[in-house]
Chain A
Amino acid sequence: MLKDFFGKSKYVTVERKSRPRRSSEVEESGREGKKEMPDDLWTKCKECKEIIFNKKLAENLKVCPNCGNHFRLTATERISLLIDEDKFEEYDADLEATNPLGFPNYEEKVEKYQRKTGLKDAVITGIGDINGHTVSLAALDSRFLMGSMNSVVGEKLTRAIERAIDQKLPLIIVAGGGGGARMYEGMLSLMQMAKTSAALKRLEQAGQLFISILTDPTYGGISASFASLGDINIAEPGAKIGFAGPRVIKQTINRDLPEGFQTAEFLLKYGMIDKVVKRSELKNILGKILNIHEMGSMRGETDA
Chain B
Amino acid sequence: MPSSYLDFEKPLVELEEKVNELKSFMEEKDIDLTEELERLNKRAKVLQKEIFSSLEPWQILQIARHPERPTTLDYIELVCDEFIELHGDRQFSDDKALIGGIGRIGDLPVTVIGHQKGKTTKDNIERNFGMAHPEGYRKALRLMKQAEKFNRPIIALVNTPGAYPGVGAEERGQAEAIARNMMEMAGITVPIIVVIIGEGGSGGALGIGVGDKVLMLEYTYYSVCSPEACAAILWKDAKEAETAAKALKITVKDLMKLGIVDGVVPEPPGGAHKDYQLSAQLLREEILKEIKKLDKLNTEELLEIRYNKFRNMGQIKENSQKILSEL
> Which A residues fall within an 8 A CB radius of B?
17, 19, 94-98, 100-101, 103-104, 111, 114-115, 118, 150-152, 154-155, 158, 180-183, 185-195, 197-202, 204-205, 220-221, 223-229, 241-245, 248-249, 252-253, 257-258, 261-262, 270-272
Contacts and interface: CB of A to CB of B under 8 A. Distances in A.
Interface in B301-327: 306-307, 310-311, 313-320, 322, 324, 326-327
Nearest to A269: B171
B165 A249 contact: yes
Contacts of B210: 194, 197-198
Contacts of B183: 197-198, 200-201, 204, 229
B237 interface: no
Given A181-B224, A270-B173, A197 B186 contact: yes
B182 interface: yes
B203 interface: yes
B27 interface: no
18 contacts: A97-B317, A100-B258, A103-B247, A115-B324, A158-B311, A192-B313, A193-B179, A193-B203, A194-B186, A195-B313, A197-B179, A197-B186, A205-B187, A221-B203, A226-B179, A229-B183, A262-B170, A270-B172
Contacts of A111: 324
B175 interface: yes
Interface string B197-233: 0000011001101100000000000111100001001
A91 to B, nearest CB: 12
Nearest to B163: A243
B317 A220 contact: no
B82 interface: no
B326 A115 contact: yes
A252 B174 CA distance: 15
B260 interface: yes
B182 to A, nearest CB: 4
Contacts of A189: 224
Given A224-B178, A228-B173, A243-B163, A183 B313 contact: no
Interface residues of B, number: 57
Contacts of A150: 314
Given A193-B203, A197-B179, A118 B327 contact: yes
Contacts of A97: 316-317
B315 A151 contact: yes
A245 B170 CA distance: 10
Interface in B154-174: 163-167, 169-174
Given A187-B222, A242-B175, A243-B174, A194 B206 contact: yes
Given A197-B182, A224-B178, A188 B247 contact: no
A98 B317 contact: yes
B261 to A, nearest CB: 8
Contacts of A181: 202-203, 224-225
B179 A224 contact: yes
A192 B182 CA distance: 11
Given A186-B224, A190-B223, A243-B175, 14 more contacts: A101-B247, A118-B327, A183-B230, A190-B206, A192-B314, A198-B182, A198-B210, A224-B174, A224-B203, A224-B207, A226-B179, A243-B163, A248-B165, A253-B166
Contacts of A96: 316-318, 320, 322
Contacts of A244: 163, 165-166, 169-170, 174
B324 A243 contact: no
B142 interface: no
A227 B311 CA distance: 18
The 3 closest A-B CB pairs, nearest first, are A244-B165, A151-B314, A198-B186
B298 to A, nearest CB: 17
Nearest to B172: A270
Contacts of A180: 203
Contacts of B222: 187
A226 B180 CA distance: 9
Nearest to A205: B187
A223 B173 CA distance: 10
Interface in B247-261: 247-250, 255, 258, 260
B213 to A, nearest CB: 14
A244 B204 CA distance: 11
A194 B187 CA distance: 12
Contact of B307 (A19, A202, A243, A245): A202
Contacts of A152: 314, 316
A220 B327 contact: no
A14 to B, nearest CB: 13
Contact of B206 (A118, A193, A202): A193
A52 B255 CA distance: 50
A283 B230 CA distance: 38
B179 A228 contact: yes
B167 A258 contact: yes
Given A95-B318, A181-B224, A228-B180, A101 B249 contact: yes
A111 B322 CA distance: 12
B184 interface: yes
A189 B313 CA distance: 9
Contact of B182 (A193, A241, A272): A193
